[in-house]
Chain A
Amino acid sequence: DTEVTQTPKHLVMGMTNKKSLKCEQHMGHRAMYWYKQKAKKPPELMFVYSYEKLSINESVPSRFSPECPNSSLLNLHLHALQPEDSALYLCASSSGAPGSTTNQPQHFGDGTRLSIL
């Protein structure tokens, strides 16, 4: 069982739809991350939140909009996605805040598998 919970597990949406991915952790971690993973590739970092503030945006297109309502929740809002956005979207959290000198391991959820029609 993972300690980072992602919903939904699967999502199929059209290019004109608006949907949201959700991530929740109750480990008291103050850093949370969104990754995109294509088949047979390593995860690619999209966004990092530190203490509920966006600290890193890896030049992600604006059709992806992250939100961190509180220290336990992380959302990824999706709008007007393209077929190439079909992938596994992973959320992760860590106890070390980005910028600290100690690199803490990241804990991943099982992901949302997104298909764009």
Chain B
Amino acid sequence: GNSVTQMEGPVTLSEEAFLTINCTYTATGYPSLFWYVQYPGEGLQLLLKATKADDKGSNKGFEATYRKETTSFHLEKGSVQVSDSAVYFCALSATGGGNKLTFGTGTQLKVEL
């Protein structure tokens, strides 16, 4: 079946540090890949997406590249801010899967001054 594996959290960084959150997936075919962010007390917001190999999704300084050869979709940001503190979910939607999302377990990010 389909699955998504994310690095365990929480991840604690100082402001302006470089962020990487690892995400690898298992799926048949060519899934679409997403990063969602959940701020405290809120729902999930789509952060970025990629629909085919070598696509790079980007938004608000965050980037992730769809790497089919390594089945990965790692999230990166060059300089994090306190306001980036949230839980980040990697997810996939498999081809012919009825648009169902398979989520990773989520990674909590804490950014400190």
Residue A77 at the B interface, CB < 8 A?
no
Residue A59 at the B interface, CB < 8 A?
no
Q: Per a CB cutoff under 8 Å, which of B32, B43, B45 touches A103?
A: B32
Nearest-neighbour CB distance to chain A for B68, whole angstroms, equals: 16
Q: Give complex CA distance A86, B44 in Å.
A: 18
A45 touches B96 (CB 8 A): no
CB-defined contacts of B106 to chain A, threshold 8 Å: 40-42
CB-defined contacts of A98 to chain B, threshold 8 Å: 98-100
Known contacts A108-B44, A110-B42, A111-B43; A94 and B100 CB within 8 A of each other: no
Q: Which of B96-113 contact A (CB under 8 A)?
A: 96-101, 103-106, 108
CB-defined contacts of B45 to chain A, threshold 8 Å: 2, 108
Chain B positions near chain A (C-beta within 8 angstroms): 31-32, 34, 36, 41-46, 49, 51, 89, 91, 93-101, 103-106, 108
Chain A positions near chain B (C-beta within 8 angstroms): 2, 4, 6, 31, 40-43, 45, 48, 55-56, 90, 92, 94, 96-101, 103-111
28 contacts across the A-B interface (CB closer than 8 A): A2-B43, A2-B45, A4-B43, A6-B43, A31-B99, A40-B108, A42-B91, A42-B103, A42-B104, A42-B105, A45-B100, A45-B101, A48-B100, A55-B98, A90-B43, A97-B99, A99-B98, A100-B99, A101-B96, A103-B32, A103-B51, A103-B93, A103-B97, A104-B99, A106-B101, A107-B46, A108-B43, A111-B42
